[in-house]
Structure 1
Amino acid sequence: MDQQSALLERPAGGGDFARLWREARFDGMECLNARFQRHSYAPHMHDTYVVGVITAGTELFRCAGVDLAAHAGQVVALNPGILHDGRPADDGFAYRMFYPSASLFEGALEEATGRRVAPHFGVTVFDDPALFAAIGSLHRGLEGRVSDPLRADTDALRAFTLLALRHGDLTGRLPAAGREPAAVRRAREYLDAHLDSPVELADLAGAIGLSRFHLLRVFRAAVGTTPHGYLTDRRVAHAKRLLAGPLTLAEVALSCGFCDQAHFNRVFKGRVGVAPGQYRRGSNPVQDTGSAAA
């Protein structure tokens, strides 16, 4: 059963909210953002994994014959084919859930460990603040529909490998990341050359001859941030230079690889502290008022 069918079996009641969508770039993975005060799930199972975070309240559920409770701040992970239900405690609950296929996990872990394996989660509910943050960030980013494939792929690879390696009952250790200064230099050059266009993590990794996972590890070790973080910083720096010129804000946004002006405003303000228009007025007030030198 997919999650949409589970929702329809007992439709949400008054005051409840549920939004479900699918991500084609992640093997059609279903994603659910929901808040339930009344809705309860009938017993059901999925062909996929169930992975997510409780963002408020408490969900009560019976899983493989065991009664469990998942509280705000906790992570939930179920293996495929596990019978479970779900209902709100007195205070209701809100959660963000993914339904990733086994092949999605296997592909990520093959890059991380060199072995194509699927995780098995022996514990269903657990505390892991770093993982909670990683899953939540990925989910919010995908729901926001920002057209940023490098961020989406980076966040997804990090979240799912982190989950599997920490809690997935896998054997063996990660190989050493090693030092790859030439590869990191080529990666930075590639990103610098693509400030005005979307960047796929797979294309970046392929251009320098590393797996996506290995690239993320060595790049962060050398630069202190992810390729996405580096690219965003470079785009903002380029935007600052363009804001001193005649281009409109929308033209600056497109020239720096942002999908639209709203995306540009949000990212620029997050890095600089002021919106692009405010920055332009502060750095070039004569141009912005429309006056000209005599």
Structure 2
Amino acid sequence: MTSSGTGRPGTSRDRGLFDGIAALHRDLAHGEDELHLESSLIRLLNDLLARHAAAPGAASPALRPRALRQVREMLHSQLNSNIKLDDLAAVAGCSKRHLIRSFQQAYGVPPHHYRTLLRLARAKSMLAAGRSVAETAAELGYCDQSQLNRHFRREFGMSAGGYARTVR
């Protein structure tokens, strides 16, 4: 996580939370009394929980089917793009964690695996049509053919080239 574009790892985008932690740190360094420190810590923890955590055991309701369809359509339409989970969550209008859970409930796999399965189905048809493994990998957005082969082996137990030889 980075703070408003600085790119520094380990910093928060929540300026209020950052300011609260900094104030607590200053109070500790200046030797404030325990009541003050404890109250500041409790206030800080309450802010943290209110802003960034769900209540223990509280399950968020599943996403509306329309939101899930929009995510699925984005995955289908941008098969060769480097889609970010943030982008999918924005389309669904929810947190990344909630999106993953709801998508898996609806489609049986999380969004990243669904996309991999879409890419592999497309790769199979491209390879069967005579396209090379390298060309297929590049067109589907894989960084190289070894990445395509890893996914292919994991799902089908053979390399993309091996599959191409069996269907031609």
State the partner residue of 1:278.
162
Once residues 186 and 275 of structure 1 are traced to their aligned partners in structure 2, the CA distance between those partners, rounded to angstroms, is 32
Residue 281 to residue 174, structure 1, CA distance change in 2 (3 Å): same
Matches within 5 A, 1:199-210: 199-210=83-94
Residue type matched to 2:9 in 1?
Answer: G
State the partner residue of 1:28.
9
Secondary structure at the aligned position of 1:115 is classed as helix
Aligned residues of 1:250 and 1:261 also touching (Cα < 8 A): yes
Percent identical among aligned pairs is 36
State the partner residue of 1:265.
149
Once residues 217 and 179 of structure 1 are traced to their aligned partners in structure 2, the CA distance between those partners, rounded to angstroms, is 9
Normalised TM-score (structure 2): 0.66
Once residues 164 and 59 of structure 2 are traced to their aligned partners in structure 1, the CA distance between those partners, rounded to angstroms, is 47
Deviations 1:199-226 (A, max 9, x none): 1000111123222122111111111110
Instruction: Give unmatched runs, 5+ long, in structure 1.
Output: 1-25, 30-105, 118-164, 166-170, 285-294
Structure number, greater radius of gyration: 2
Q: CA RMSD in A?
A: 2.5
Residue 204 to residue 179, structure 1, CA distance change in 2 (3 Å): closer
- Of 54, 57, 67, 1:173 maps to 57
Matches within 5 A, 1:39-118: 115-116=51-52
Aligned residues of 2:149 and 2:160 also touching (Cα < 8 A): yes
- How far residue 266 of structure 1 moved from its aligned partner, in angstroms, is 0.6
- Of 101, 105, 108, 1:221 maps to 105
Once residues 211 and 283 of structure 1 are traced to their aligned partners in structure 2, the CA distance between those partners, rounded to angstroms, is 42
Residue 114 to residue 226, structure 1, CA distance change in 2 (3 Å): farther
Residue type matched to 2:51 in 1?
Answer: R
The count of corresponding residues between Structure 1 and Structure 2 is 126
Instruction: Give unmatched runs, 5+ long, in structure 2.
Output: 1-6, 11-44
Once residues 188 and 28 of structure 1 are traced to their aligned partners in structure 2, the CA distance between those partners, rounded to angstroms, is 31
Once residues 235 and 178 of structure 1 are traced to their aligned partners in structure 2, the CA distance between those partners, rounded to angstroms, is 26
Deviations 1:107-138 (A, max 9, x none): xxx8xx76336xxxxxxxxxxxxxxxxxxxxx
- Of 72, 86, 99, 1:188 maps to 72
Normalised TM-score (structure 1): 0.39
Aligned residues of 2:63 and 2:99 also touching (Cα < 8 A): no
- How far residue 269 of structure 1 moved from its aligned partner, in angstroms, is 1.0
Give the strand-richer structure, 1 or 2. Answer: 1
